Amino acid sequence: MSALAAVAASDGPGGTGFFASVSDVVAHVWTAATTPVDPPSAAVVVVTAAIALTIVVVTPVWRVARHLVTIAHEGGHGVAALVTGRKLTGIRLHSDTSGLTVSYGRPRGPGMIFTTLMGYVAPGLVGLGAAALLRQGYAVGLLWLLVLLLALLLLQIRNWFGLWSVLVSGTALVLVSWFLEPAAQSAVAYAVTWFLLLGAVRPVLELQAERAGGRAPTSDADALARLTGVPGLVWVGVFLLVTAGCAVLGAVWILGPAPFGA
């Protein structure tokens, strides 16, 4: 039963008004998010992986889907800034799939290094966390968690395209989480997770191609080189090692047997 059907079934002539309805919605969302569901069949898992891989490797499709990776990228910068004590003042997402996260604090040091580092590795780390939730059976919970994260990110968006991009992504996840049956929700959760795991790698390869052509002098890798004295190419290698490692480990978690007792 979908969340909408569940709420409708609980709402009768004796309802107590708006606040009771809101309470019912929250209760059903919480129950759906915290209740493990059976994993989809192996065929569905493989098909969702194939769909995600196709989106990543087919360039015209990738140019649109890459906005989701940019959201995770800039969100990674933002979270890193907050946890290191920097003042986060806003995030911008642009139609060319670039983004900008602005924070204030010491211009050098561990906080700035960590904040700069987290952009390219964030999508893979989010994908790995998503794979861990899927491994425990929380596919629907993953969708609602992503909705919550997008809602928090929305508070930091400072341009119209960024607002539109986050709202469209969040609305799509809400519609899936609210209207679809658990089996369909699970399939979407797997597809999103595969996309994050696989889609995290391509921007790193694109980054190095741009750097090799002299088109990315202000990239995160070059910023890290200026902050640390370690060559930018080494930082690209770090990005690739983390994102590829997340993709491999996430795939093992998704395709492997569920942990005992899950």
DSSP sequence for 139-185 = HHHHHHHHHHHHHHHHTTB-SHHHHHHHHHHHHHHHHHHHHS-HHHH
- Domain residue ranges of the chain, discontinuous segments joined by +: 38-255
Task: Provide the pLDDT for residue 105.
Answer: 92
| Three-class DSSP category at 38 | coil
**Distances in whole angstroms, Cα of residue 172 to Cα of each of 42, 123, 154, 166, 194:** 25, 19, 15, 10, 17
Q: Is the pLDDT of residue 10 over 60?
A: no
> Is pTM, for the whole model, over 0.85?
yes
pLDDT at site 3: 57
Q: Taking 50 as the threshold, does the pLDDT of residue 92 lie above it? A: yes
Strand partners of residue 239? none
Burial of 251 (0-12, 13-18, 19+ CB in 10 A): middle
In this prediction, residue 18 carries a pLDDT of 62
Region of poorest pLDDT, from 54-58, 165-169, 214-218, 226-230: 214-218
pLDDT at 28: 76
**In the predicted model, what is the mean pLDDT of residues 234-244?**
98
Quick one: residue 109, left, alpha or beta (phi over 0 = left, psi -120 to 50 = alpha)?
Answer: left
